[in-house]
Amino acid sequence: MIQSLVSNIMSINSDPQDSEAALRRRIAGFSLGLAVLIALILIPVFPEHVPASEGQVAKETLHSPVNAIFQSEILTRQKQEEAKAATEPVLKYTEETARSQLNTISNITSRITQVRDDANLSLTQKSRALGDLGETELSAQGILAALNLPNEEWQVVSQESQRVLQEIMGQRLTSTAMADLSNNLRSHVSSPLSEDGLLLFDELVRPLLTPNLVADEEATQRARDAAAAAVGPETVSLTSGQVIVNRGDVVDALDMESLRASGVFESGLKADASASVILVAIMASIIFGLYFYIFRPKEMMTVKRLFLLVLLLAGWTLAARVFLATVLPDSDRHFLAYLLPIAAPSMVITALLSTPISVAVAVMLSFFAAYAGFYAPDVQNSALSSSQMSFQMVTTFLVSSLVGIYFVHRAERLNHYLTAGIAMSVSAFLVLFAFRFLDPNRELVDIPWMLFSTAIGGGLSTALAMSGAIFLATVFGITTRLQLMELSQLRQPLLQRLQQEAPGTFHHSMIVGSLAERAASLIGADSLTVQVGAYYHDIGKLSQPSFYIENIADGVSPHDLLPPQESAQRIVDHVHNGLALARSHKLPGAIARFIPEHHGTRLVTYFYRKAKEENPSIDPSLFAYEGPKPQSRETAIVMLADSTEAVVRSNDDRSPETIDMLVDRVMAERLAESQLDQCDLTLRDLRTIAESFKASLRAIYHQRIQYPPSSDFEERQTEAAAQVLRVPSAPMDGTAPPQ
């Protein structure tokens, strides 16, 4: 179902041989789609985040990400409060206070005189009456003095108390000044008094000394407000990278204000950063687009495969952004960012598409991941956002990805993937360990965490690469090397049928596979694909094996009873039958294309020549294969190997000189027939292929030595064995080919 869906989406013509205009449109669409997706993924839209809270201990050191100048409300408010506190209260004089206190002293002295003169009261009753005078509270000694002073001295005390109080209260005195006068109160007495008289004077006057200059609350508030308003705003300057809060410090209100002003608490869309992201995405897409346009790798020039590349790049960039946002900043130094299986898409592309493209993908994804991870505000504003840390991440991701690409490049067994996982983990750890020497905050406990994160990251990359390659190969119709290895096994049903029903064709296919595989390896073509394609290139002969010379054992050919044109059609039919078998057995397209392309548009030469003897004007197209001509180096190599093997096998003279001549003639014929025009074999490749064929065929058809006649002992052994096996014995006279 998934494959059908993708096929419908990719229903646009994707033939690599499309017109130049179609190719440009395809590359432009790829570049535009990649740029838009990467820009949307990396665009810096962040919800507000809180890396620190007021009153809490900072978990990491926070820096200002930019140069910033701002007016601090907190510092301004502090200065205003200081100005208010420094403003003296506005005082006002109150006459009522003096009058009230004079009335009070008059009442008190009158009350004391009344008690002193009351003959009906006992001494105890008088003492009790003087203990409750209201505004003034006399001590026990003061009460005794008030009752025992002679009348003359009491009159002096009473008069001096009222006079001094009136004198003092008549002045405009603040609380401070009043306190000073209170301390020197006795110095204001103008008449001589005893110690008891002075004591009673103190106790009568001192409690009634009250400042008559009091604060005017409204005027004072106006003065303080004016002082605060005169304070200008306090400006704070921050430089990029300046520490705002150190790890372990308690965050105060001023720290929070600086963090917000510098952009640490970021939310919404940032225009400058958005422009940066858009430019990065455009440049990355242009680089890929130019590569495809200049080099035009055929394995990448279909819409499906370009779509797959965009899917992997965009998908993994999104995964990197989401994952790194959860594990960075790494304030606990657990190196969890390296759990990200960044190498997986590069390994998948290596297994499915192209190694050069996978290297470019590894470079791009390493930079995209670091960009996404270290651009996040809580990382950018922490102590971990140094250029060293971001360079460490790029280097680690890139090295591990390149190591993974190296080990899965043309991997043909699962253990290659397991080896890649181990190698990636080791290489990532070594990179982190190397950067550790540059880290002033390094700790011994870092090493176990490095080992843990890189081991898990390498394992995840391998697991995702294996499963992803299998899944995507199915969805996008791409052949993996593991599939090719499985198809190369001789236990495969089609190969078993070929061996049993068409043994000559099977033997021919094995030889062609051997010839083509070695030649492909020498010119850098895909030797495994060539070998498997050669094994299956003639499976169409299973429909009528006896119509092909290699399967005729008794020398009687069914073509003897058929006209040449019909015989040619029977021969051509093996291509159609082969494609039908490939579809029914679900052979990959990379293998199925060997079936028509190994013949190209050539003529069925033998029967064409027979027909031409009967009718010189016969149309050669009636004897031609439908093609197409070889579209790749791999199918072209099998065409050449198939023709060369057939020509050499059919020739009685197989001397080295003849083999060399036959190989050269086949090469020249295919060039003359323009069969190699649509593949990218060079003349140098053809010379290398020819030399490889010559060496292989000389080894296959090497001369054998003539054995001398067998001895009597060997003859007797042979006769005894023949009797046991019930077969006639043959003399060992040296005529049998040696083994």
Residues 609-624: tens digit of each pLDDT: 888 888 888 888 888 9
Q: Is the pLDDT assigned to residue 294 strictly greater than 50?
A: yes
Q: Give the number of other CB atoms < 10 A from CB of residue 283.
A: 11
Residues 492-541: tens digit of each pLDDT: 999 999 999 999 999 999 999 999 999 999 998 989 999 999 999 999 99
SS3 at position 236: strand
What's the mean per-residue pLDDT of the chain? 81
| Residue 371: predicted pLDDT | 82
**0.75 exceeded by the pTM?**
no
Q: Which helix (H) or strand (E) holds 694?
A: helix 683-700
Please state, in angstroms and rounded to a whole number, the distance separating the CA atoms of residues 351 and 364.
18
| Residue 270: predicted pLDDT | 63
End-to-end CA distance of the chain: 55
- Considering only residues 15 and 506, tell me which one the structure prediction assigns the higher pLDDT: 506
* pLDDT band for position 17 (cuts 50, 70, 90): very low
Residue type for position 405: I
**Pairing label, strands 68-72, 268-269:** unpaired
* pLDDT band for position 451 (cuts 50, 70, 90): very high
Please state, in angstroms and rounded to a whole number, the distance separating the CA atoms of residues 82 and 187.
40
Report, as an integer, the average pLDDT of 371-393: 62
| Spatial CB neighbours of 370, under 8 Å, sequence gap ≥ 6 | 390, 393, 394, 397
Residues 453-502: tens digit of each pLDDT: 999 999 999 999 988 888 888 888 788 888 888 899 999 999 999 999 99
Report, as an integer, the average pLDDT of 553-563: 77
| Residue 220: predicted pLDDT | 78
SS3 at position 33: helix
Residues 301-350: tens digit of each pLDDT: 788 889 999 999 999 999 988 888 787 766 677 888 899 999 999 999 98
Number of H helices, E strands in the chain: 31, 8
Encoded tokens for 425: 């983990």
The residues spanned by each domain of the chain are 2-49+266-478, 91-215, 489-700
| Residue 103: predicted pLDDT | 87
| Residue 726: predicted pLDDT | 63
**Class of the 489-700 domain?**
mainly alpha
- Considering only residues 603 and 709, tell me which one the structure prediction assigns the higher pLDDT: 603
